[in-house]
A and B are shown apart, each in its own frame.
Chain A
């Protein structure tokens, strides 16, 4: 046994990321680690790689109990991780990156560039990497960068390689290249842990599979014995906890109509309608183009072709400003980066999108501004000491409410929510849902992008599913996670859906 993880636990603040993580990897084996977003896969792997300390449990490496306190320790023991986002020095060459941190030097401290290049070239040839030792890393594709990381791991004599969703940003050809190399590693008797979201690629590389759900290992075994349907069930199989259930109301007029939006290579021929009073879910895997769709409608990214109509009238949207004028709002995925000015007072943030209504001839009216701030703090039940409190000091849920409130104050009628519950705790989630429901009842049309399927099922009246830049289907609000997953993840989606609904 190469690596054994037993009962690993980890809490972040009050949230349990891992309750009971178990995993065994043998040399010469590709071990798939599966689970929904937030199931704890990345946390578990970061613990193995020494990036996070576990709260409890045992890590047994080559038969000995270990605890790596930093990534360098794990690396020295032969564990390497290939990250989703590359951790390379972009301005250095492939060879320099492969030897980064352990440069070959002569006794005077001179770096032996030639030796390093030759050494790297040898490795590249041996494994048939599509690389050259002298290339600069910044010019490489994401796949190329991953190859460099793999090369580095092999060069350092690693015996366990962890891939965290290596193919999520790769083309099909590049994906096959990664598979070929992973199989090569297996032949060399290295251990591989492979995290993926793409169910269709499981069989191409995997030997054994471990499935995590809500921080617990729910299944571990050989891949052959497990049909894909069963894997989906195991991944999402928990009862949908009925903390919140929205009662849909009869939808009103069409507020947002999107016709045949294209944006190469991310979005293909997307059409949808949002009606007043409706909350429509938009599901899909990471990289399916959901965020890109929101950005395009909101004017952040240009579209190649297509039409956008708001309340029946065609609008030209070239910037967020145009979108805001048309009554469209985006509550972005990353609150801290794009949703709020965290270093400014809450009150400033509440009126940021709507300063004209609290000013005359360019001069702000302090009294009016305070009144608006108070009104929306009350209406959305934002808990802050005063409008003067810095937005960044509020809790995650309250920050999200501020990011919503600024659009309500502006009177936006089409609201695009991108992952509205990201990084906020369970109680606050329900409050955000209630706010969304109230907005819909007040006549807004809402699109909710979420990777949390249970939440979509709780909140959305109907659910659109995207896969690789296309809308692959529409499901009623009371559908199942399995149906969504099969539309979102599987190549021949239509056939699967029929099977499941039977």
Chain B
């Protein structure tokens, strides 16, 4: 039980430690900026949680994020209202997620390879349609999505909480969620039970793509541009958040709470290093070590359970 709470305890200790170590940590501006920085990765990681619980993986989310952000901002630049632009970004993400799901289930190719391929394809298409140039011409009000405040709290926090709640309910209280666990835990047993495995796997990838599209719009709003090169390396951060939070790449394990904690641990580590003047080079190494540490502790716990 103590080990199960370990990610949470780590997060709390990190929070307290940073509060003591740096006078700038516990300020409104700093905490808001931590939330805004983590929100993008966090929302992607929520989708990734579903995918990883289903026993899959999606390496293309960084590219999907860029594609969603770009198409959404292009729509706005072409005169579409902001809401429509955001919707277009989300739908674009869903489209690619759907494709990933269909390729893995219909062609029965390992998702690692499928999404490694689509990572290149999507990034390439994004660069082609943008000609490699960012979209700047977005309405001023669009910045509210990423930078605005609602009831004194960053607007993205509300979005994050809403997404987290929705994914949590999906995972724990719907048939789709239960099938996700079943497929990830033992795809053969799921198939033998008459579960439509391909359909639900595809649905999971599509939801992941949707959330990534939304994250792409938030990223675009924060930059106030549609960047075709946005989101490079984000896929690894999203995966890291899920596994730090107890998700297993073997499938069948993972939770929304865990992923949130995982993403915030990474966010605090990088924010704390900034505040304490630790070089970004060292930051990378620290985060890498934390990933290995978190997963090895989790493995030890599981081994003890099965012994």
Contacts and interface: CB of A to CB of B under 8 A. Distances in A.
A324 B196 CA distance: 11
Contacts, number: 77
- Which of B179, B181, B193 is most buried by chain A, counting CB atoms within 10 A of its CB? B193
B143 to A, nearest CB: 36
Given A340-B189, A363-B173, A352 B252 contact: no
Interface string A295-316: 0001010000000000000000
Given A343-B252, A348-B181, A352-B195, A359 B175 contact: yes
Q: How large is the interface on A (under 10, 10 to 19, 20 to 34, 35 or more residues)?
A: 20 to 34
B152 interface: no
A344 interface: yes
Given A355-B175, A359-B175, A344 B193 contact: no
- Which of A341, A363, A366 is most buried by chain B, counting CB atoms within 10 A of its CB? A341
B191 A352 contact: no
B145 to A, nearest CB: 29
Given A340-B186, A348-B181, A363 B252 contact: no
A337 interface: yes
B176 interface: yes
B178 A320 contact: no
Given A338-B188, A339-B189, A342-B186, A321 B174 contact: no
Contact of A343 (B173, B178, B185, B193): B185
Interface string A340-365: 11111000100111011001001110
A323 interface: yes
Contact of A364 (B173, B192, B194): B173
A363 B192 contact: no
A320 B189 contact: no
A265 to B, nearest CB: 24
A475 to B, nearest CB: 30
Nearest to B177: A364
- Which of B177, B195, B196 is most buried by chain A, counting CB atoms within 10 A of its CB? B195
A341 B252 contact: yes
Contact of B193 (A320, A356, A359, A363): A320
Contacts of B192: 298, 300, 320, 330, 332, 338-339
B288 to A, nearest CB: 28
B114 interface: no
Interface in B102-146: none
A332 B193 CA distance: 11
B183 to A, nearest CB: 9
A344 B182 contact: yes
B188 A362 contact: no
A325 interface: yes
A344 B189 CA distance: 11
B182 A348 contact: yes
A362 B185 contact: no
B174 A352 contact: no
B157 interface: no
Interface string B228-240: 0000000000000
B191 A320 contact: yes
A351 B192 CA distance: 13
A145 interface: no
Given A323-B194, A341-B190, A352-B190, A362 B181 contact: no
A300 B192 CA distance: 8
Contacts of A364: 173-175, 177-178
B194 A341 contact: no
A429 interface: no
A353 B193 contact: yes
B11 to A, nearest CB: 26
Contacts of A344: 181-182, 185-186, 252
A355 B178 contact: yes
A225 B181 CA distance: 60
Contacts of B253: 343
B249 to A, nearest CB: 14
Given A320-B191, A324-B193, A362 B186 contact: no
Given A342-B186, A351-B178, 4 more contacts: A320-B193, A353-B193, A353-B194, A363-B174
11 contacts: A300-B192, A320-B191, A330-B192, A341-B181, A341-B182, A344-B186, A352-B182, A353-B194, A353-B195, A363-B174, A364-B177
Interface of A: 298, 300, 320-321, 323-325, 330, 332, 337-344, 348, 351-353, 355-356, 359, 362-364, 366, 392, 406
